[in-house]
Amino acid sequence: MSLRDRLKTLLTDALASAGLNASDIHVVELAGGGVRIPFVRRTIEDLFGSSTLQTTLPPEVASKGAAVFGARSALVAAEDRAKSVPASRLAETELQKAIDTEITMQLHDAELKALGIARDELESYIYEMRRTLNGASPHSKKLDMEKLSPLLTNAEDWMYEDPDGYTKEDYVAKKEALKKSFMDTSPEYFEAVKQDEKKLEDELLEGEKIGDAERAAERANGEDDHDRRKLKKEDRMRLVTRNKDEGTELFKGGVYQQAAIRYTKALQNCAKFFDLSEEDKKEVDIIKVKLLGNLAMCFLKMENYQKAINNCTEGIELDKENSKLFFRRATAYFATKKIPEAMKDIKEAMKLTPDDKAVKKLKSKLDLLVKKEKAKEKKMAMKMFA
């Protein structure tokens, strides 16, 4: 039997022992260097389909999972034995030896965790600066693409040359060297970013002052911040519209945090309608979708990507044909390196608005990223066989 057939038999036997079919599996998590070998990946794709495959977890999860499974099995076996064997205590020396072993294992786990964090931080920095070189920042042109792009490529290659031989200090030193190269080569870029951050901070502080003053004025006029009044639909709708319009003006002015507060207040008012007809509910839902989309834009601007994802998801539940929500959620997923999720959303946006230039642009970026990942896997496989 060929190696490919043996692998396929192993997978089908595992499914059978679990009482499952291949169609029951929605996601297949690939871990470890072996799955980078093309024929291994193709065999898995043949059985489960390529769309189910993802590589979002670190390689050590398989060993940790096996350890947990083994520990549970041992615990069950020990409990079974304890039912028939009289309880006994460890000798003092044996107990101390077990404690010392546990401490050693905990220290080793802590080292592995620190190593993983250092590796992830380096990879994130490479990914972030690659996006910046490709135009993700308004100041990208201030970076020297010709000098810096090869540095990122070399750093990526270095990460995969001897992943088992590097220490936490190696990854930290590599990242610091990369950062120094970028700062030494393009100091004007980092000065521009620093000025942008200061400007945004000043705007947020000013926005907070405006918000505090407005809330003080509301209290002085006797307006209840926790409005529980049963207003008529028309009156409540005026509050929704007022907060929505104020949010939009603040957003146009770049005061994103205060804009988000206004949109949130408008949504809170949307939740206070009562005795609505079916047509009225549809009208309110349409406004909710717009507000959730606007909130997502605010959080994208503030780089709070998880909140952007949450608002888009809530909006999509109300309107599953809203291309903007799928596009904005894909943008947030892309920014957080959740590429399978981003690809799924951008494909949905493409179906809904195939001629949208922004959607096409993000789709091209994702396609390029996936292509590079496949090329990297192919390169790794060639190195393994070499």
Residue 64 forms part of a structural domain? no
Q: Tell me the mean pLDDT in the region 103-132.
A: 86
Residue 278 forms part of a structural domain? yes
Q: What percent of the chain has pLDDT over 70?
A: 83
Considering the domain architecture, whether residues 106 and 11 belong to the same structural domain is answered as no
The residue to which tokens 């496949």 are assigned: 374
Residue 106 forms part of a structural domain? yes
Considering the domain architecture, whether residues 287 and 151 belong to the same structural domain is answered as no
Given 30, 54, 78, the domain boundary residue is: 54
Considering the domain architecture, whether residues 278 and 361 belong to the same structural domain is answered as yes
Residue 216 forms part of a structural domain? no
Considering the domain architecture, whether residues 328 and 254 belong to the same structural domain is answered as yes
Residue 339 forms part of a structural domain? yes
Q: Residue 215's pLDDT is what?
A: 52
- Is the pLDDT at 212 greater than 60? The verdict is no
Considering the domain architecture, whether residues 266 and 160 belong to the same structural domain is answered as no
Higher pLDDT, residue 344 or 210: 344
Considering the domain architecture, whether residues 29 and 133 belong to the same structural domain is answered as no
Given 150, 169, 185, the domain boundary residue is: 185
Count of structural domains within the chain:
3
Residue-number span of the structural domain to which 315 is assigned: 229-381
Considering the domain architecture, whether residues 365 and 246 belong to the same structural domain is answered as yes
- Is the pLDDT at 170 greater than 50? The verdict is yes
Residue 215 forms part of a structural domain? no
Residue 345 forms part of a structural domain? yes
Q: Residue 371's pLDDT is what?
A: 85
CATH (domain of 177): 1.20.1270.10
Considering the domain architecture, whether residues 372 and 308 belong to the same structural domain is answered as yes
Considering the domain architecture, whether residues 234 and 377 belong to the same structural domain is answered as yes
- For the stretch 269-304, pLDDT in tens is 898 888 888 898 999 999 999 999 999 999 999 999
- For the stretch 346-371, pLDDT in tens is 999 999 999 999 999 999 989 888 88
Considering the domain architecture, whether residues 272 and 352 belong to the same structural domain is answered as yes
Considering the domain architecture, whether residues 254 and 317 belong to the same structural domain is answered as yes
CATH (domain of 359): 1.25.40.10
Residue 218 forms part of a structural domain? no
Considering the domain architecture, whether residues 26 and 165 belong to the same structural domain is answered as no
Q: Residue 222's pLDDT is what?
A: 44
Q: Residue 48's pLDDT is what?
A: 80
Given 129, 152, 185, the domain boundary residue is: 185
Q: What percent of the chain has pLDDT over 90?
A: 27
- For the stretch 39-88, pLDDT in tens is 777 888 888 876 677 766 666 667 777 777 777 777 777 666 656 545 45
- For the stretch 306-337, pLDDT in tens is 999 999 999 999 999 999 999 999 999 999 98
